[in-house]
């Protein structure tokens, strides 16, 4: 009987070592009030947190409004601002609510492409890159057109061309569906378990959603890459790319970020480095930005589902204003 007990103790200890917090996956959504979400399960294991998820990250343990109550973002459905240097959440509204991200989706498209492709890699368009949705932003790619990933990422993030998103996806992932699977896998690996992608561009699909907090997790990874930061901070980009007959097409795009274009002002003491916009009828007007205060401390801010472009930038300015007072 004693031998059996010793064996059981050894087995239990081994299982605990092999299944420590650092090796747990975050496969279920982190719904705060759910007893079965990965985040809640981890937070109830004594006083321990999963280092692989929470270490070096801002963590929101409530869906309630944070801040001093001075902000009234009634025109936007979700918003948050995160200090990357202090790992503090300065403000959050519906940070864990599932919302449509529209073209902010393309930050994940860029991340997966950067991590799995090379900048000089040539991408060639097939019929699959075509997007037929009325009003969708397009470069106008045709079968046989080609460009490097370097070119495609700039057009993707500045001009938000949906056909270029498909071009990247098919060439990097082998197929658009294969690339979307890579996007979803990468989201889970970052802890963004309340996110699900159905396409690489962000056009509306009921099963295509994310949260303000998940976008922070994804964007926080994106800005670790110099190429990404250089692109999102660029105002304009000009290039040429060949069609199937070698005839060159000229293209010039301008960053869709209203702060960089000077159309909207940021609070004094705040510098917007760059970001990504997104707009559809279902998602409303959306924006995520990478910003710094006067001392160079970095922040990520996101506003989702605002009613108009003006209200989007007004709300983002109010959120960024918290940086100065932090």
- CA 70 to CA 61: how far, in whole Å? 21
Which member of 37, 103, 256, 306 is catalytic?
Answer: 103
pLDDT digits 0-9 by tens, 93-140: 999 999 999 999 999 999 999 999 999 999 999 999 999 998 899 999
In sequence order, what are the beta bridge partners of 280? 284
- pLDDT, residue 54, reads 60
pTM check: above 0.85:
no
Exposure class string for 219-240: b at 16+ Cβ within 10 A, else e: bbbbbeeeebeebbebeebebe
- Judged against a pLDDT cut of 90, whether residue 321 lies above it is answered with yes
The residues, any chain, with a CB within 8 Å of residue 126's CB and separated by 6 or more, are 143, 170
Q: What is the pLDDT of residue 29?
A: 47
Domains and CATH numbers, the chain: 76-99+259-325 (no CATH), 102-254 (3.40.710.10)
Q: What is the pLDDT of residue 30?
A: 45
Catalytic: which of 160, 256, 306, 317? 160
Q: How far is CA 112 from the centre of its chain?
A: 11
43 is catalytic: no
pLDDT band at 67 (very low <50, low <70, confident <90, very high): low
Supply the Cα-derived Rg of the chain in whole angstroms: 21
E strands, 47-148, are 76-83, 88-93, 122-124, 146-148
Least confident range of 7-11, 78-82, 197-201, 292-296: 7-11
CA 164, CA 300: separation in Å to the nearest integer? 26
- Which tokens is 171 given? 């060439």
Please report the pLDDT score of residue 179 as a whole number.
Answer: 98
**280 is written with which tokens?**
């559809």
- Beta strand pairing call for 248-254 and 76-83: unpaired
Whether residue 160 lies in the annotated active site: yes
pLDDT in tens, 42-55: 333 334 444 445 66
Cβ atoms within 10 Å of 189's Cβ, excluding its own = 13
The DSSP H or E segment spanning 220 is helix 212-222
- CB of 188 closer than 8 Å to CB of 26: yes
Please pick, among 106, 256, 276, 305, the residue that the annotation labels catalytic.
106
Tell which residue, 72, 59, 66, has the closest CA to residue 91.
66
Active site residue 106: yes
pLDDT of residue 71: 83
Percent of the chain with pLDDT over 90: 76
């Amino acid at each position: 009987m004693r031998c059996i007990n010793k064996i059981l103790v050894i087995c239990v200890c081994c299982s605990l070592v092999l299944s420590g917090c650092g090796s747990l996956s975050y496969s279920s959504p982190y719904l705060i009030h759910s007893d079965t979400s990965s985040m809640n399960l981890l937070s109830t294991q004594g006083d321990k947190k999963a280092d692989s998820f929470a270490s070096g990250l801002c963590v929101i343990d409530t869906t309630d409004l944070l801040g001093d109550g001075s902000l009234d973002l009634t025109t936007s459905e979700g918003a948050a601002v995160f200090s990357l240097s202090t790992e503090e959440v300065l403000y959050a509204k519906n940070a864990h609510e599932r919302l449509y991200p529209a073209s902010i989706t393309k930050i994940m498209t860029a991340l997966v492409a950067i991590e799995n492709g090379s900048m000089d890699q040539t991408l060639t368009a097939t019929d699959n890159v075509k997007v037929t949705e009325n009003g969708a932003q397009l470069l106008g790619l045709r079968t046989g057109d080609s460009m490097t990933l370097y070119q495609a990422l700039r057009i993707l993030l500045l001009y938000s061309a949906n056909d270029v998103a498909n071009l990247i996806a098919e060439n990097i992932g082998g197929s658009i569906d294969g690339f979307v699977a890579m996007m979803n896998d990468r989201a889970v690996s970052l802890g963004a378990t309340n996110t699900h992608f159905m396409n690489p561009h962000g056009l509306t699909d009921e099963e295509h959603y994310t949260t303000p907090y998940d976008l922070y997790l994804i964007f926080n990874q994106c800005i670790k890459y110099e190429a990404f930061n250089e692109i999102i901070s660029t105002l304009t980009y000009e290039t040429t790319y060949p069609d199937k007959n070698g005839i060159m097409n000229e293209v010039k795009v301008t960053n869709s970020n209203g702060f960089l274009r000077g159309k909207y002002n940021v609070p004094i003491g705040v510098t917007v480095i760059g970001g990504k916009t997104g707009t559809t009828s279902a998602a409303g007007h959306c924006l995520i930005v990478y910003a710094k205060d006067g001392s160079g401390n970095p922040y990520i801010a996101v506003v989702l589902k605002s009613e108009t472009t003006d209200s989007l930038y007004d709300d983002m300015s109010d959120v960024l204003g918290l940086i100065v007072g932090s």
